[in-house]
A and B are shown apart, each in its own frame.
Chain A
Amino acid sequence: MNRQFLLIFLLLAAASLSLALGQVSVGPAALWNGLTGGDGAGALTVQILRGPRVATALLVGAAFGLSGSIFQSLLRNPLASPDVMGFSAGSGLAILGALTINLAIPMPLIASAGGLLTAILVLALARPARGHNPLEGAPAVTIVLVGIGIGFTAAAISSFLMTRLTGPQAAEAQRWLAGSLAARDWSHVLQLALIGAVLVIVLLPQIRNLRLLELGSELATGLGANVKRARLGLAATAVLLAAAAVAIAGPIAFVALMAPPLGARIARTADVGGRLLAAALTGAIIVMLADLVARASLPGLQLPIGVMTGILGAPYLLWLLSREIERGEL
């Protein structure tokens, strides 16, 4: 029934492939040697060059997947995710702004502030219609559409800021905006792992609320959830998860959108907890594979990972939109 193990297997396979393949390929023996702490050329490739990169990809993907899964459950809409709703773009803009004025604050903090501010702005603009059930808040589609608009605005301001940057700073910012896992070391991994662990600990006690909110706000209240507070807590956690990933890898698009439905389908799980886990695993797999293809497909050239996820994600988004329109949801 539950096939999470299939996702775990796929994750291990993707991680092994990502560690072994690249400009220089490493054989199974050297891969094992590297993983078990040995030395030699192949082992060092695994430990120093690719290890941190693959670990970053895993954590970034898992954070995006979790974030998307929370939003999609919360808003009961497959279009809901931090990238589509502009929160990632908001985090990205904040980081670019900080780069422009040389602000010396840690990236994850700046990204979190940017993401949260964007979310507050989106929620403030997406006010429910008059006479709407006060418990329900604005309809999901309104929030998503307002978010798309805010996202475009943030992206446009980011493009403007890009023109103000010069030299190597500009090149770095350009690469980061498209999403990149190049030159990540173990300090990045540790940073993201710590933030991720804290956010997961914050998320765990909220899963019960998410499960109740799925039944609609009235029944959720009847079953003891403080609906407004529960929604705020979950949304903030999801925004922060995405912001942490954006701070490390840039606003990689479509992972948070695609991972939850794909994961739920592969793992064949309907429960909230199972779906969260499946989305995290699937997000990790998507980012690792996208990064692998981005750096190993064209010899001598590293594509930004955002290009790869875009090639997969854009058609999926179009398909989702056309389905929503057919169903009369948009």
Chain B
Amino acid sequence: MSAISLRTESLCVGYRDRSVLENLTIGLPAGQSTAILGPNGCGKSTLLSALARLLAPSHGRVFLGDADIHKTKTRLLSRQLAILPQFPIAPEGILVGELVKRGRTPWRGLFSPWSATDTEICQKALIAVGMEGFAERPLSELSGGQRQRAWLALVLAQDTPLLLLDEPTSFLDLPHQIEVLRLLQNRNKNAGTTVVSVLHDLNLAGRFNDHIVLLGPDGLVTKGPPETVITPSNLKKAFDLDARVISDPVTNRPMVVPL
């Protein structure tokens, strides 16, 4: 899959009269995994919404390759860019298999029959999240971790070169968080998918991502590889947190120890 980059240009977004992000120009490296980090209310999810065309900017633009995504047909974008919101809604009584099938919508005509390719891609998505035996199970009967993996299978079935996720690990316990992050890491390494996620856990974000966008109360603090972004002075700026950063004994990635 060719890597297309997503970037913002003097982006300003907000809700009604409240501006959340101002004049933000960043690029999300194609083919890499990026974590968006920052304190509560700093606009992480707002940025992701703008990147995913869910929220129109008041100024500035978001580009996917050369195309302004807020001027591109949403259906065309749905083949390039998948988004998993923080709170997707589960239709009553839906089975996991049916849910994953909906991920194929961007690729199918209005009345075109279900193809062998569609089946194969859905099957692969279920295997990728380790839920191949769950297609006939109702989503509502699954545990929180399984449910999150089923939603991930849906966006994987969408088969896009870019994947945006809003807090994909919230409400999961540590093993399930790692499971989800590993799965995204595999997708990034194996399929070359550009992955952008909003995360809370600094250590996990640094461990599983190539690139970090760190936001603070006043907008962008800095961006770059985890080692250069997760430093005591940046954490102080973004979170007003006094911490030491050591290198973790397993992967040498930065690890935050609050003081």
- Interface residues, chain A, CB within 8 Å of chain B? 76, 130-131, 133-135, 205, 208, 211-212, 214-219, 221-226, 270-272
| A214 cross-chain contacts in B, Cβ below 8 A | 89, 91
In the bound assembly, the distance between CA atoms of A224 and B158 in angstroms comes to: 10
Structural contact, B74 and A130, CB atoms closer than 8 A: no
User: Which of B78, B91, B111 is close to A222, meaning CB atoms less than 8 Å apart?
Assistant: B78
Q: Give the Cβ gap from B236 to chain A, nearest Cβ, in Å.
A: 30
Bound-state Cα–Cα, A257 to B77, Å: 37
Minimal Cβ-Cβ distance residue in B for A270? B93
- Contacting pair A131 B92 (CB below 8 A): no
Closest Cβ neighbor of B18 among chain A residues: A131
Ranked nearest first, the 9 interchain pairs of A and B with the lowest CB-CB distance are: A224-B78, A270-B93, A222-B83, A218-B85, A216-B89, A224-B75, A214-B91, A224-B106, A219-B88
Contact of A223 among B18, B89, B105 (CB under 8 A): B105
CB distance from B125 to the nearest CB of A (A): 14
Band of interface residues on B: 35 or more
20 CB-based A-B contacts, threshold 8 Å: A134-B16, A205-B111, A208-B110, A212-B102, A214-B91, A216-B88, A217-B54, A219-B83, A219-B85, A219-B89, A221-B53, A222-B52, A222-B78, A222-B81, A222-B82, A223-B102, A224-B74, A224-B75, A225-B74, A270-B93
Q: Is A134 a contact of B55 with CB atoms below 8 Å?
A: yes
Residues of A within 8 A of B154 (CB): 219
Cα(A131)–Cα(B55), bound, Å: 13
Are A131 and B15 in contact, CB atoms less than 8 angstroms apart?
yes
Return the contact of A211 from the options B49, B92, B102, B158 (Cβ within 8 A): B102
Q: In this complex, what residue of B is CB-closest to A130? A: B16
B79: chain A residues at CB < 8 Å are 224
Of the listed residues B52, B74, B77, the one surrounded by the most CB atoms of chain A closer than 10 A to its CB is B74
CB distance from B177 to the nearest CB of A (A): 21
Contact of A222 with B155 at beta-carbon distance under 8 Å, contacts A212-B105, A270-B93 already known: yes
- B89: min CB distance to chain A, Å: 4
Which residues of A sit under 8 angstroms from B77, Cβ to Cβ? 224
- Report the bound CA distance from A271 to B90 in whole Å: 12
A-B pair count, CB < 8 Å, reads 82
Interface of B with A (CB < 8 Å)?
15-16, 18, 49, 52-55, 74-75, 77-79, 81-85, 87-95, 98, 102-103, 105-106, 110-111, 154-155, 158
> What separation, in Å, do the CA atoms of A134 and B15 have in the docked complex?
8
Contact at A221–B89, with CB atoms within 8 Å?
no
Residues of A within 8 A of B105 (CB): 208, 211-212, 223-224
Inside 8 A of B98's CB, which chain A residues have their CB? Answer: 270-271
Contact of B54 among A135, A212, A224, A270 (CB under 8 A): A135
Given contacts A221-B53, A223-B103, contact A216 B87 (CB under 8 A): yes
B102 touches A215 (CB 8 A): yes
Q: Is the CB of A226 within 8 A of B74?
A: yes
Select from chain B the residue with minimum beta-carbon distance to A230. B74
- With CB as the reference atom, state the residue of chain B lying closest to A216: B89
User: Beyond A134-B55, A205-B110, A211-B102, is A219–B74 a contact (Cβ under 8 Å)?
Assistant: no
A102 CB to closest chain B CB (Å) equals: 44
Whether A76 and B89, one on each chain, are in contact in the complex, defined by CB atoms closer than 8 angstroms, is yes
Measured between beta carbons, the chain A residues less than 8 angstroms from B55 are 134-135
Q: A134-B55, A218-B54, A270-B92 are in contact. Are A223 and B158 (CB under 8 A)?
A: yes
Q: Are A218 and B83 in contact (CB under 8 A)?
A: yes
Extra pairs beyond A131-B15, A212-B105 (13, CB < 8 Å): A214-B91, A215-B90, A215-B102, A219-B84, A222-B82, A222-B83, A223-B102, A224-B75, A224-B77, A224-B78, A270-B91, A270-B92, A271-B98
